Structure 1
Amino acid sequence: MREHLEDWEWAQTLVRFTDRRPPDEVVQSVRAVPLVGNGVVVCRLSDGTAFLPGGTREEGESVDACMRRELAEEAGFLVTGHPRWFAAHSGVSYHRVPYKPYAPFPLKAWLWGVVEGEIVGPPTNPAGAEQVASVSVLRPEDAVDLLEKEGRGYAQALRFWMNSGASIEF
């Protein structure tokens, strides 16, 4: 895989997209490619912003538990399979302090996984979190097209997963 450096100003972090799994202790956040049948679950905020669900780990939370929690909160998604981790955005923060007191710093990573499941209800939208307005299941190609303009590595990770095959795991 050809890796290049990107400046994620929103996270104040220089990152590389890689197929190498970072150590769990530097994983700040998990991101999911949630599958329902042959489709990918995509969430939208009330302003129309589209994203793949995922988020920041809680203190002491495993990456698998974080994925299950974030999918329920943001998509009403029940995980029925085991996450298959396939890529990461890994980097070094240039912020002065950690994002959360317990979060890894200055090394951090956003771990990407694919997982099967089903939508069992609306997003739980806990207070203080992103408030998801709608959840859709799209063909993977349509999800890439929608997410391309959003940044934050969504389309990049989804395209990589699609081109690598569903069985990739690292």
Structure 2
Amino acid sequence: MDVPFSTDPPPDELITNIHVVCFVDDRIVLCRDDRDAWLVPGGTREAGEAIEDCVIRELREEAGARLAGPLRWLGAHYATSDRPTPYREWQPHPHKAWLWCSAEVVLGGAPTNPDDAEQILEVRAWPFDEAIRLAATDGAHMAELLGLAAELRGAG
């Protein structure tokens, strides 16, 4: 797939996945999964699920967290799949978008770790520089996304 990033917000009907850069004070929340990758909470949107409902569910499942402020949209990766069918039957195809947003959160419990999701082993809020270093285990693109979230948070 070709997945360019844009700060233009995607239409709701294209959003299949949502990921949240979470802030606790000046720290960024990362979740370590069973592959030993550090990632931001997020995942696949369910059929008919509103964006905020997906965020609330994913925060609980992957970080044991809850929203403590409004969502801020950062942008999206726009994807065009070359597969003959969508990943899930209710998802748009072949064009879709993975929404990136940020929010203030409160860590308040353990991840619920549903059987059909990543298995999260650890959740911690890290200082910015350490979060950048650790998030690279989930891809080189994470440094720019965390930086954009921190920059927009400072401007807001």
What is the TM-score of this pair, normalised by structure 2? 0.93
Q: 2: CA distance between counterparts of 1:57 and 1:41? A: 21
Asked if residue 155 in structure 1 is aligned to residue 143 in structure 2, the reply is yes
> Retained in 2: the 8 A contact 1:44–1:132?
yes
Superposed, 1:121-136 pairs within 5 Å as: 121-136=109-124
In 2 relative to 1, CA 168–61 (structure 1 residues): closer, same or farther, beyond 3 Å?
A: farther
Give the counterpart of 2:76 among 83, 88, 91.
Answer: 88
Gapped regions of structure 2 (runs ≥ 5)? none
Report % sequence identity: 37
Q: Which amino acid letter does the alignment assign opposite residue 136 of structure 1?
A: R
Q: Which of residues 13, 21, 31 in structure 2 aligns to 1:43?
A: 31
Give distance in 2, aligned partners of 1:149 and 1:122: 22
Map 1:19-168 → 2, pairs under 5 A? 19-151=7-139, 153-162=141-150, 164-166=151-153
Q: CA deviation at 1:168?
A: 6.5
Number of aligned pairs?
156
| Matched letter for residue 165 of structure 1 | L
Q: Over the residues paired in the alignment, what is the CA RMSD in angstroms? A: 1.6
Equivalent AA in structure 2 for residue 166 of structure 1: R
User: Which structure 1 residue ranges, 5 or more long, are not aligned?
Assistant: 1-12
Q: What secondary structure sits across from 2:93 in the alignment?
A: coil
Letter in structure 2 aligned against 1:132: I
Aligned amino acid, residue 154 of structure 1: M
Match of 1:18 in 2: 6
Cα 1:167–1:64 change in 2 (3 A) is farther
Note the C-alpha offset of 1:46: 2.7
Structure-1-length-normalised TM-score: 0.86
**Greater mean deviation of Cα atoms: 25-34 or 86-95:** 86-95
Structure having greater relative contact order (Cα 8 Å, sep ≥ 6): 2
Identify which range, 15-24 or 45-54, moves more after superposition.
45-54
Whether the 8 Å contact between 1:26 and 1:104 is mirrored in structure 2 is yes
Give the superposition deviation at 1:17: 1.0
* Displacement after TM superposition at 1:167 (Å): 6.1
Moved >6 Å (runs of 4+):
none
SS of equivalent to 1:116: strand
Asked if the contact 2:38–2:137 (Cα under 8 Å) also holds between the matched residues in 1, the reply is no
